């Protein structure tokens, strides 16, 4: 039984970690911290947890964590983990970091995409990008697991086999994302105000999005030449879910079997990647609706002969495979237990 | 390991039974029938089950069921179980019936509310109304478990403690329901067409709803004098969930502690009824959103001194506690295992 | 051409006033004030007004209003009009007040429902409750028009003919409301945060709601004995619209024709009240979806013989007939022009 | 006063034509046909028209149309206008055709994209593609106005200035569309069933969509070399609205002012195209939410220096500018009256 602490438990990522870990057969959540809700019952902030747990939010206290925990999930805002993670490691704790602070290998990227200089560049080599489909072996022994961003996960899982196989023009890769409102976090803003967000489609951060850095980092490690990602999210009228529609242009004529081969080659044994390309019904291609509440990433494709285009589709639940579920998957890998432990949700039809 | 057959597995209730039973540690789904989808993979109809099961829909064949199953869930349309259930019993199978066909004790009610004469009145005495909170002991040994209607479950669980305690005027009990679209089933209609259903509030079957019969039957068994239920649903813009707002008029002055006593007296040890009455945050009273994907029914109340009114609120997921989850709860009771087995979902925040 | 000033133009009521008045053939909006957006283009706050107007928000300046306006709409928060309205009147301006500050005749109600003592009780006699269906003649010459609350409008229009006719038990009138998120105003809160509000049904202010005071005031003026209103709103997943489901208990046996007579007697010539009771299709009874973007209030009913109940349904767009549209209707009455001027929207099918 | 007949008035395009034309000051709707609803009041099918019109659906009768109408809108399914339009012309009626049957100039395109051979190729030269921004002069005297498809309108208006200016790579133009459910028409299907459609993002017809033919036809007429359009719609959780996100790759380095010049050059005087590119608030770029209920198409852009990409955004209401509103705009042009007559809606904030 691994004893778990969650730092930053009052946000949505913290909420999803609690949902998964409170029922995890090999884990026990012993501490949950929050800055604004110290002393409150966790279920007062996350009403789904009523009758599930009597935990209260506690302040962040290193000695207590050292005493009560083996592993810490840091669900801190970006920039909030940089200094925290080294202290946790020094205290002998394992760390799975949900922020972006240890995802990037190139120091300049922090300045360019996040606007600050990394205070612990020496630690970056100890951090493994927590995408099991690409880094399973390294995760097993990682000191720091740096969990991927939700949109980055969908983009990378859609593109990795194709980029690895060198099938497409690396300068014209369009990732057009449709994203649910939970991705924006628990803090109310004008853009997330129900009357403003409901029933619209809003392009946002369509240029220069921070996730470009990690997407390019991971894809560049797979292929022979660096990619340029065109990355643009849109806020749509749902709470959970991301669909990445990826438009690419093959270097030469391709056929369905080429793509099947690339996808199956990488994902054939993956427990949480499903290949979705059907001929009947409304769900022939990936739709995040089908993945809600699960750790699955559904990947599909179509070839457009008219425009010489290869479309890839990648759908997931941004809270689960896009964040907390993937983090628990990494924890399972580290514990050496079945990777699907605590993550065996089937999803819902309908929801 | 109990071997399960599901009759009528292509509808939404069948879908939810599959979701719960495919992961149930003590159950194995061996057969799923469907009239329109014989030969198709179950996951072609329920896309959430891709990679979860390789079952195909089969025709309804008594010999096969007898050979492969111990227990049958009949997720048939109303009227479709009347003749089926006796045959299943005769074949030595246990039956949990999701239709209304064995819920009512009063034969006249079938004619009045459903418009047909019951073909097997002699079997009704063998059927137990599958609401564990009222009939747990009888369910243990029931030949037929007749699962309650979704709206009936919310109404009964909201009202039972109050009616039992004799606290309110029995002729003026208003149950105003707000219901998600999954309650209407999987068949597209004009009323369920997304452009028509989205973003509205539509009163429907506001008078003479069929669930009145079972609600009054169950409540009358608890109190001393028969109740008259004013029962009116409204279709709202969500997929899963029912909120029953119950307006009642106390016979004499009541206080919060009277209601707490009645509710705790009946539900204090119930694993799937939560009492919800808080002072802070957006979820002070039951909201079906908080129960989505779970087997919980959340019950709360307020006293309105101005109008001498007692409000009760009862929220649940119509697919789970309102149908398949409750049926699995009944199965667990029959199997003599922990009642929450396979039903330990925490729900989501947010969803 | 009447010259219009709008005080408080950056909120949602201000937005709706602008939508209607900028296209009104007899009105010219000359000034729009806002505290937080002075100097900004109105279309920066209300993006629908791009290319429609080049107005900018200005500070609230009495001399400027006196010079440029004939009539002021005060879309101020409750409590913000008490002192403002007398000053506007003293400056020779006509006033249509959107707040609650001049709606109530009983001084005690301000203390009980709003928590403050009215600073200008001497002005209350000059204020007319701006519901044309009840006060058309008085509105024509009113110094102050005090526009009704959105939920109050739906409740009163549903109940007025029945209460006037003395048909129902006056102590057991249940008004169960389903309300869109725009009713909560333009300021983001946790409860209006899209991930929290989406896809739920949330009871709120179910006891002691402020609108009870005005509903009872107006209904008491119609009948012989005072009514007690049981009034409880629910937040649902839509932006615009209110459905009031009104459950009443007739004193004696009633028939459809009794209700038709009462409704037609009061609303037969009303331009903005439609009687809705059909036998076919999904919209047999009022649904706020059908009134979105219009000044209509749709009223319908059903008789429940089983429970001796009369149900009334009243649906409207809380922004239009529930606020700004009704205010413009009052302005038209004051101007002596066709009451429907600038309000001739048909609504949408679908929306 | 032009006398209008609408063929196919029970669908959604017919509904929107009625909404606009019943209030149009220069038009009188004298006849509305429907195959399935003959004899029924129009308001029984379109509940928003209750109290607005007493028209009933009539059968399609050429003699009656000739007697009572000057101009016919044919809101027929694709393939339903081919033979109808010549008959209407022969009867001396003007025709605005809402189907695709007279949009395409290249006969082969009908076979390739629609699967049938055009029965009246000789008439195609008399048909003008009803996009005023490109064909205003020709529309004035057109025998047949062939109204554009909804998605085609958004794609063409987003791309026309850029293609005309020759700014981008013509083989790699990605049009990624997000579409509301009304675009699928009034007939319920499994894909449009509320429980299936709600809260998802579903790619559909992502390859080989029919609108590609008309988009390429219109764009090819503007530039020097033929374009290849990559065109892929997605069904999202809203009823009205299309956002076309258009990803293009400039041939050489471009700056904001180049794009502004191209857009202003084409749309500077257009009454229904708004250029949207702001620095503040949630609506900095086009969002179909802002255009709901209006005839506006909002066009915006961003330059992505990282990936050498030019993004264009084009948002409209598929029922209005994407169909009926645009048709009325064409009618106004033909009548020689102010093009905005009957189309002066401001839209809503919020809706």
Share of chain C above pLDDT 90, in %: 99
Angle at CA of residue A225, ends A219 and A230, nearest 5°: 55
Closest partner CB to B192 (pick from D12, D184, D193)? D193
pLDDT at A223 over 90: no
Both structure tokens of B218: 């169950």
Q: What is the pTM of this model?
A: 0.98
Check CB contact under 8 Å for D48 and C349: yes
The answer to whether the Cβ–Cβ distance between D195 and A350 falls below 8 Å is yes
D283 in contact with A, Cβ within 8 Å: yes
Contacts for B255 with CB less than 8 Å, ≥ 6 apart: B303
The string of pLDDT tens digits covering residues C1-31 is 999 999 999 999 999 999 999 999 999 999 9
pLDDT of residue D104: 98
pLDDT at B320: 98
Contact B19 A348 (CB under 8 A): yes
Contact D6, D328 (CB under 8 A): no
Partners of residue A242 on adjacent β-strands: A179, A316
Tokens 């360019």 found at:
A112
* A110-162 residue pLDDT tens: 999 999 999 999 999 999 999 999 999 999 999 999 999 999 999 999 999 99
| Residues of chain A neighbouring C197 (CB-CB closer than 8 A) | 194
Q: How far lies B181's CA from each of B295, D185, D195, D343, in Å?
A: 18, 20, 6, 35
Give the helix/strand (H/E) hosting B202: strand B202-203
Q: Which residue of D has its CA nearest to C199?
A: D199
How confident is the model at residue C105, as a pLDDT?
97
State the average pLDDT for chain B: 97
Contact B19, B294 (CB under 8 A): no
Roughly how many angstroms between the first and final C-alpha of chain C, as a whole number?
Answer: 33
The rounded Cα A319 to chain-centroid distance in angstroms is 7
Mutation target vs D (from B193, B201, B240; most D CBs, 10 A cutoff): B193
What is the residue whose two structure tokens read 């789970």?
B320
Q: What is the pLDDT of residues C248-287, one digit of tens each?
A: 999 999 999 999 999 999 999 999 999 999 999 999 999 9
Strand order in the sheet with D127-129: D57-58, D27-33, D2-7, D71-74, D94-97, D144-146, D127-129
Residues of B belonging to the active site: 150
Average the pLDDT over B192-214 and give the result: 98
Please give the pLDDT value at position D298.
98
CA separation for the pair D152, D218 (Å, rounded): 10
Q: How far apart are CA A220 and CA A225, in angstroms?
A: 7
Task: Judge whether D338 is closer than 8 Å to chain A, CB to CB.
Answer: no
Average pLDDT on B141-150 reads 98
Structure tokens at D323: 């169909």
| Residues on chain C touching B234 (C-beta within 8 angstroms) | 178, 243, 245
Q: Which among A12, A274, A283 has the least Cβ separation from residue B51?
A: A274
d(CA D11, CA B25): 50
Distance CA C265, CA C281 (A): 27
Query: Residue C107 and residue B235: Cα distance in Å, rounded?
Result: 40
Residues of C whose CB is below 8 A from A198? 181, 194, 198, 237-239
CA B255, B261, B266, B269 torsion-angle sign: positive
In this prediction, residues D27-44 reach a mean pLDDT of 97
Average the pLDDT over B153-164 and give the result. 98
Is residue C42 within 8 A of residue C53, CB to CB? The reply is yes
- The three-state DSSP-derived secondary structure of A198-235 is CCCCEECCCCCCCHHHHHHHHHHCCCCCCCCEEEEEEE
Structure tokens of B8?
């009528």
Q: Is A132 exposed, middle or buried (0-12, 13-18, 19+ CB in 10 A)?
A: buried
Contact D49 C346 (CB under 8 A): yes
* Domains by residue range for chain D, with CATH: 2-148+320-335 (3.40.50.720), 151-316 (3.30.360.10)
The stretches of D69-149 forming alpha helices (DSSP H) are: 84-90, 107-109, 132-140
pLDDT tens digit sequence for A156-192: 999 999 999 999 999 999 999 999 999 999 999 999 9
Work out the minimum CA distance from A182 to partner chain C, whole angstroms: 6
Q: pLDDT tens digits, residue range B63-101? A: 999 999 999 999 999 899 999 999 999 999 999 999 999
Contact A317, A293 (CB under 8 A): yes
State both tokens at C345.
């929207």
Residues on chain B touching C197 (C-beta within 8 angstroms):
282
Nearest residue, CB atoms, A44 vs list B15, B45, B280: B280
Q: How long a stretch of residues is chain C?
A: 351
* Distance in Å, alpha carbon of B322 to nearest chain A alpha carbon: 14
In chain A, which residue's Cα lies nearest the Cα of B14?
A349
**Catalytic residue annotation of A:** 150
Give pLDDT tens digits for C199-236: 999 999 999 999 999 999 999 999 889 999 999 999 99
Beta-carbon separation of A247 and D230 below 8 A: yes
Whether B191 contacts chain C with CB within 8 A: yes
Cβ within 8 Å, pair B311-C207: yes
Q: How far is C187 from chain B (nearest CA, A)?
A: 15
Bridge-based pairing of strands B144-146 and A71-74 is: unpaired
Catalytic one of C147, C150, C297, C330: C150
Bond before D350 cis per omega within 30 degrees: yes
- D69 as an active site residue: the answer is no
Alpha helices per DSSP H over C198-273: 211-220, 256-267
Q: What pLDDT is stored for residue D223 in this prediction?
A: 84
State which residue of chain A sits closest to C46, comparing Cα positions: A196
Q: For residue B344, which residues of chain A lie inside 8 Å, CB to CB? A: 23
Residues of chain B found within 8 Å of residue C287, distances taken between Cβ atoms: 200-203
Name the band, by pLDDT with cuts 50, 70 and 90, for residue B223.
confident
User: Is pLDDT above 90 for D300?
Assistant: yes
Q: Chain A within 8 Å of D208 (Cβ-Cβ)?
A: yes
> Are residues B199 and C234, on separate chains, in Cβ contact within 8 Å?
no
Residue A171 and residue D307: Cβ atoms within 8 Å? yes
pLDDT for residue A221 is more than 90? yes
Q: Is A349 in contact with B52 (Cβ distance < 8 A)? A: no
Q: Which residues contact A341 (CB under 8 A, 6 or more apart)?
A: A24, A25, A26, A332
Angstrom distance (rounded) from CA D130 to CA A314: 37
With an 8 Å Cβ cutoff, is D349 touching chain C? yes
Smallest Cα–Cα separation from D188: which of B205, A349, B185, A237? B185
Using a CB-CB distance cutoff of 8 angstroms, which residues of chain B are in contact with residue D189? 188
Residue in chain B closest to A25 (alpha carbons) equals B344
Both tokens of A317, joined, read 């639940």
The per-residue pLDDT for B224 is: 86
* Chains contacting C (3+ CB pairs below 8 angstroms): A, B, D
Residue C83 has pLDDT above 90, yes or no: yes
- In this prediction, residue D224 carries a pLDDT of 86
Cis peptide before C350 (omega within 30 of 0): yes
D224 touching chain C per CB within 8 A:
no
- ipTM value, please give it: 0.98
The rounded distance, in Å, linking the Cα atoms of D321 and D332 is 14
Binary contact (C190, A188; C-beta < 8 A): yes
- For residue D81, give every residue at least 6 positions away whose Cβ sits within 8 Å of its Cβ, in sequence order, or none: D74, D97, D99, D101, D102
In this complex, is the C-beta atom of D190 within 8 Å of any C-beta atom belonging to chain B?
yes
Of A181, A190, A199, the CB nearest to C195: A181
Closest CA in chain C for residue B292? C200
């Amino acid at each position: 039984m691994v004893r778990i602490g969650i730092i930053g438990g009052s946000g949505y990522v913290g909420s999803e970690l609690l949902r998964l870990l409170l029922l995890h057969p090999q884990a026990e959540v012993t501490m949950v911290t929050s800055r604004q809700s110290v002393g409150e019952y966790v279920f007062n902030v996350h009403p789904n947890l009523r009758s599930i747990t009597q935990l209260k939010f506690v302040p962040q206290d290193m000695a207590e964590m050292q005493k009560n925990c083996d592993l810490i999930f840091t669900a801190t805002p970006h920039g909030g983990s940089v200094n925290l993670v080294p202290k946790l490691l020094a205290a002998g704790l394992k760390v799975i970091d949900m922020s972006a602070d240890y995802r990037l290998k190139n120091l300049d990227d922090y300045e360019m995409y996040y606007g600050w200089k990394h205070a612990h560049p020496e630690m970056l080599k100890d951090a493994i990008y927590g995408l099991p489909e690409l880094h399973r072996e390294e995760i097993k022994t990682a000191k720091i697991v740096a969990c991927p961003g939700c949109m980055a996960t969908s983009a990378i899982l859609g593109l990795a086999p194709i980029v690895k196989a060198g099938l497409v023009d690396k300068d014209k890769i369009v990732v057009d994302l449709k994203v649910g409102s939970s991705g924006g976090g628990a803090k109310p803003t004008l853009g997330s105000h129900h009357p403003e967000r409901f029933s619209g489609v809003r392009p946002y951060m369509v240029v220069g999005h921070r996730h470009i850095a990690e997407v390019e980092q991971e894809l560049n490690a797979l292929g022979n030449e660096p990619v340029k990602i065109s990355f643009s999210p849109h806020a749509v009228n749902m709470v959970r879910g991301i669909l990445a529609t990826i438009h690419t242009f093959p270097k030469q004529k391709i056929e369905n079997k080429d793509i099947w081969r690339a996808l199956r080659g990488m994902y054939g044994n993956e427990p949480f990647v499903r290949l979705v390309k059907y001929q009947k019904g409304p769900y022939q291609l990936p739709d995040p609706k089908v993945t809600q509440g699960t750790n699955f990433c559904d990947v599909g494709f179509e070839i457009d002969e008219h425009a010489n285009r290869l479309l890839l589709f990648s759908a997931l639940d941004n809270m689960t495979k896009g964040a907390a579920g993937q983090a628990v998957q990494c924890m399972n890998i580290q514990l050496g237990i079945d990777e699907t432990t605590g993550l065996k949700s089937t999803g819902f039809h309908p929801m």
